[in-house]
Amino acid sequence: MAKNLYQKVWDEHTVGTLQDGRTQLFIGTHLIHEVTSPQAFGMLRDLDLKVKYPKRTFATVDHIVPTDNQQRPFADPLADAMITAMRKNADEFGITYFDLASGMQGIVHVVGPEQGITQPGTTIACGDSHTATHGAFGAIAFGIGTTQVRDVLATQTIAMEKLKVRRINVDGELSPGVYAKDVALHIIRLLGANGGIGYAYEYGGSIFDGFTMEERMTVCNMSIEGGARCGYVNPDETTFNFLKNRPYSPKDTEWDEAVSGWQAYASDADAEYDDVVNINAADIEPTVTWGISPDQGIAISESIPDPAEANNEVERASIDEALEYMKLPAGAPVKGTHVDVAFIGSCTNGRLSDFREVAKYLKGRKVAEGVKALAVPGSQITAVICKKEGLDQIFMDAGFEWREAGCSMCLAMNPDKLQGDQLCASSSNRNFKGRQGSPTGRTVLMSPLMVAAAAIEGEIADAREVFSVN
C-alpha cells in the first residue's frame, strides 16, 4: 500500500496504542533549550528518574541570551541563572550541550541542521512551537510542552493523536524579489491561521523541488502559524548534499547506507492525502502582514483591508481589532507605513543565506535616520562565516547593529525589545500583540530583503523598487 512520508515515519515510530486511543510515539531526536527544560529536569529529580537515552538529546541556549554582550555574568540575573541551570542539567544527565563557549551555540532550530543532528525519516521534538523547521529534512518535527519535555527525557516517547496530511503544491516560477518567506506568508494567508489544525503539511511542487534547504526550513518553520502541527518536505539530493560531512551525519560506509534508507521515506508517487492544495507561484508577490495574526497579510502592492468590506461580522470585528492595535488606516496602501525598528534574524530568517542575499543589495546603502536596525545571526557558526565573508561589515557600514547569536527580537525574552508603540519590520514569524516585548509594540512580518528595504527607506517599501531587483 502506497504511503506518504508522514505515514511511514509514524508507523515506524509507533510503540503502541494507549487506552485513550492515542499513539505512544518514539522520539528519535530531542532538542532542548534553557526556557522549557528547567522545570522538566526538576520533575525528573522529584520522581528520581534519569534521562532514558541521553545521546538522543541535544541542548543549547537561545531565548534569553543577550545579543549585545554575552560576557558572564549577564546583566539579567534570572537569565544568568537559567544558563547556569542548563549547564548543571546537561552535566548531571549526560546531555550534549552547545553552550556559549563552544562556538556552536545558537537558535536550536539553526543548530540542529548545521550540526547534522536533524536527519530524514525520524521524529524530532522540542519545547518550542517552531520545531516544525526540522521537517524540511523529511522528518516529522513538532513542538511540545514542558510536561511532554519531561516525558521524552524520561521515556523517549510521547502520547499523540495521528494527524491528517495536506499536500501543498507550489508550481511555476517565483518572480524576482519573491522569497521563501513570501511563499510561507502567502500560504498562511490563503489557508488561514487555523486552516492547518489537525493536519501535517507536506510541501511539494517545482518550487520546493528547487528550493535550497534553508528556503525549505523557512517555510516549514512557519507551518505552525498556519495551524498545522508540523510541516515537511520529502528528502532528496538537496537534503543529502546539505547533510554530508556535517559533524553528526553518518560517516564513511555508513553514509551510503543512510542515504538509501532516507530515500525510502519519501512519499510514494501514488500516495494519498486527506487534502491537496495547488498554488501558482506566479501569483505570489512580496508579502507583508498588516494585523495581529500571521494570516493577516497582503501583497506589498495591496491596500490595508477595510472592515466595511468584510464578508461577515466576525471578519469585520477581527479587522477592526487589528487596525486599532496596529494604528493603521483602513483602505490605505501598506507601502509607506512608517517604521521605527528593522530586525533581521530569528529561526525563520537568521541563516547564512539570508545575510548573503541582503548583503548583495545593502552594500553602499544607509539605514534611514531614526530607524534602529538589528542583524542577528542564528548561530555562532553563521556569525563566523558572515565575518569571514565580510557580511557583518556590510551591515554595519549600512547602519545596522551586528549582534551575537540568539533569538533576539523574535520574542523579546532578552533585552532586545520594542519600546512603546514602535513599529518593527521583522523577518521573524509572529506578529501577535506584544510579541516583541512591548504591550503596545507593533510587528510587520516580511522577508529579510523587505526588512532591509524598510530600514533604508524608513517605511514599508517594495524591495524590488528600492534595490532594482529584476
Q: Are residues 258 and 298 in the same domain?
A: no
451 assigned to some structural domain: yes
- Cell numbers standing for residue 64: 534569553
How many domains in the chain? 2
Work out the average pLDDT over 100-118.
Answer: 98
Task: Tell me the per-residue pLDDT of 31-57, one tens digit each, with 9 for 90 and over.
Answer: 999 999 999 999 999 999 999 999 999
> b/e map of 190-211 (b: 16 or more CB within 10 Å)?
bbebebbeebbbbbbbebbeeb
Residue 211 pairs in a beta bridge with: none
pLDDT at residue 1 is higher than 90: no
C-alpha cell at 163: 494527524
201 part of a folded domain = yes
Question: Is residue 276, in this structure, part of any structural domain at all?
Answer: no
pLDDT in tens, 366-419: 999 999 999 999 999 999 999 999 999 999 999 999 999 999 999 989 999 999
Q: What is the rounded average pLDDT of the residues 99-117? A: 98
Whether 279 is covered by a domain: the verdict is: no
Do residues 63 and 170 share a domain? yes
pLDDT at 194 over 90: yes
Note the helical H segments in 292-447: 313-326, 346-349, 352-362, 380-388, 391-398
The confidence score (pLDDT) of residue 130 equals 98
Tell me: do 214 and 319 sit in the same domain: no
| Average pLDDT of the chain to the nearest whole number | 97
Is 275 part of any domain?
A: no
**Percentages of the chain per state (helix, strand, coil), in multiples of 5:** 40, 20, 45
Q: Are residues 18 and 60 in the same domain?
A: yes
302 with 252, same domain: the answer is no
Same domain, 256 and 304: no
Note down the domain range covering 308.
Answer: 287-466
* Cα distance between residue 197 and residue 228, in whole Å: 5
The band of 137, judged by pLDDT with boundaries at 50, 70 and 90, is very high
Give the pLDDT confidence score for residue 282 in this predicted structure: 98
**Rounded to 5 degrees, what are φ and ψ at 210?**
-90, -15
One domain, residues 291 and 252: no
Between CA 219 and CA 208 the distance in angstroms is 10
Residue 297 CA to residue 190 CA, distance in Å, equals 9
Same domain for 334 and 259, yes or no, is no
CATH number, domain with residue 95: 3.30.499.10
Q: What local confidence, expressed as pLDDT, does residue 167 receive?
A: 98
* pTM: predicted TM-score of the whole model, two decimal places: 0.97
Please report the beta strands in 107-163, taking only residues with DSSP state E, as ranges in sequence order: 123-126, 140-143, 157-160
Q: Quick one: 84 and 117 in the same domain?
A: yes
Look at 73-77, 261-265, 277-281, 462-466 and tell me which has the smallest mean pLDDT: 73-77
Whether residue 399 is contained in a domain is answered as: yes
> What pLDDT was estimated at residue 412?
87
Q: Tell me, rounded to whole angstroms, the distance of Cα 246 from its chain centroid.
A: 21
Q: Are residues 430 and 294 in the same domain?
A: yes
Place 138 in a pLDDT band, splitting at 50, 70 and 90: very high
pLDDT at res. 330: 97
Q: Using the predicted structure, report yes or no on whether residue 171 has a pLDDT greater than 90.
A: yes
Sign of CA dihedral 116, 59, 199, 265: positive
Give the DSSP H/E element, type plus range, for residue 59: strand 57-60
Whether the per-residue pLDDT at 5 is higher than 90: the answer is yes
- Please check whether residues 303 and 424 belong to one and the same domain: yes
Does residue 63 belong to any structural domain of this protein? yes
CA nearest to 37, candidates 108, 126, 123: 126
Domain end among 265, 298, 329: 265
What would the mean pLDDT of 309-330 be, rounded to a whole number? 97
pLDDT score at 444 = 98
How is residue 161 written as a grid cell?
Answer: 493523536
Q: Is residue 32 part of a domain?
A: yes
Same domain, 157 and 291: no
